């Protein structure tokens, strides 16, 4: 029995982490991770600033800007959309772990690859519909900010596109980890 087929050391840890790839592909993925983490962080900071402005305005100003609630909602929508891929990649989304801890490392990697495949196929299938949905907002504007709503509705395209992209990355990494494990098992006498 090799390391590859042994039980995980911490059954409460959850599913096995997929080791990230190295090389050019790994650096590209790490760059994408940093970009979307930065954009999501900026959206979160924007939410904090807008909500703080709204609180200060309620206490210290004679009027409350009407646009703050709307902008914070749109920033939150984009925060979720921009971080969706990162959440999938780091396996931090809400899930139910009933049996994964009972699987060997190989079984967990296969399970993770299957989950990435299912999420990726669904997200990729939904992207054209999300683009149609985003186009609906071309002739609408937001009530207070007067922003064309297709920019807001485009968040569904971003969410599904990033989910499909990161599911594909997770699938590739899981398959490489499985292949490396198989190679490791074959090399062990």
Q: Does 128 reside within a domain?
A: yes
12 within a domain of the structure (yes/no) = no
pLDDT of 27 above 80: yes
The mean per-residue pLDDT over the stretch 61-67 comes to 88
Into how many domains does the chain fold?
1
Residue 15 banded pLDDT, cuts 50, 70, 90: low
* Backbone torsions φ then ψ of 144, nearest 5 degrees: -105, -35
Confidence at residue 89, expressed as pLDDT on a 0 to 100 scale: 86
How far, in Å, CA of 48 to CA of 107, rounded?
Answer: 42
Lowest mean pLDDT among 71-80, 117-126, 134-143, 179-188: 179-188
Residue 13 falls inside a structural domain: no
Residue 77 confidence (pLDDT)? 97
Residue-range definition of the domain harbouring residue 100: 3-7+18-187
**Across the chain, what does the average pLDDT equal?**
86
Segment 68-74 shows an average pLDDT of 95
Q: Is residue 77 part of a domain?
A: yes
**Cα(44)–Cα(46) distance, integer angstroms:** 5
Ordered DSSP codes for the chain: --GGGSPPS-GGG-SPPPPPP-HHHHHHHHHHHHHHHHHHHHHHHHHHHHHHHHHHHHHHSSS--THHHHHHHHHHHHHHHHHHHHHHHTT-S----SSGGGS-HHHHHHHHHHHHHHHHHHHHHHHHHHHHHHHHGGG-B-TTT--BHHHHHHHHHHHHHHHHHHHHHHHHHHHHHHHHHHHHHHH--
Q: Which token pair is 153?
A: 């509705």
Confidence of residue 183 (pLDDT cuts 50, 70, 90): low
pLDDT tier for residue 63 given thresholds of 50, 70 and 90: confident
- Report which of 125, 119, 127 is spatially closest to residue 91, judged by C-alpha positions: 119
Please tell me the predicted confidence (pLDDT) of residue 45: 98
pLDDT at 97: 75
Q: Which of 31-35, 42-46, 94-98 has the lowest mean pLDDT?
A: 94-98
The pTM of the full predicted model, rounded to 2 decimals, is 0.83
């Amino acid at each position: 029995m090799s390391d590859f087929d042994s039980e995980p050391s911490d059954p409460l840890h959850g599913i096995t982490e997929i080791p990230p790839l190295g090389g050019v592909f790994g650096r590209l993925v790490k760059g994408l991770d940093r970009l979307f983490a930065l954009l999501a962080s900026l959206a979160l900071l924007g939410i904090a600033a807008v909500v703080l402005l709204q609180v200060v305005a309620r206490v210290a100003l004679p009027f409350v800007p009407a646009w703050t609630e709307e902008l914070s909602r749109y920033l939150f929508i984009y925060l979720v959309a921009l971080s969706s891929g990162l959440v999938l990649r780091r396996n931090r989304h809400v899930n139910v772990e009933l049996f994964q801890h009972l699987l060997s490392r190989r079984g967990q990697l296969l399970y993770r690859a299957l989950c990435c495949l299912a999420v990726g196929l669904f997200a990729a299938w939904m992207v054209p519909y999300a683009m149609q949905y985003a186009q609906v907002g071309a002739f609408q504007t937001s009530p207070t900010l007067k922003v064309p709503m297709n920019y807001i509705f485009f968040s569904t395209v971003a969410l599904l596109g990033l989910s499909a992209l990161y599911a594909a990355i997770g699938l590739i990494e899981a398959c490489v980890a499985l292949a490396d494990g198989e190679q490791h098992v074959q090399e062990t006498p």
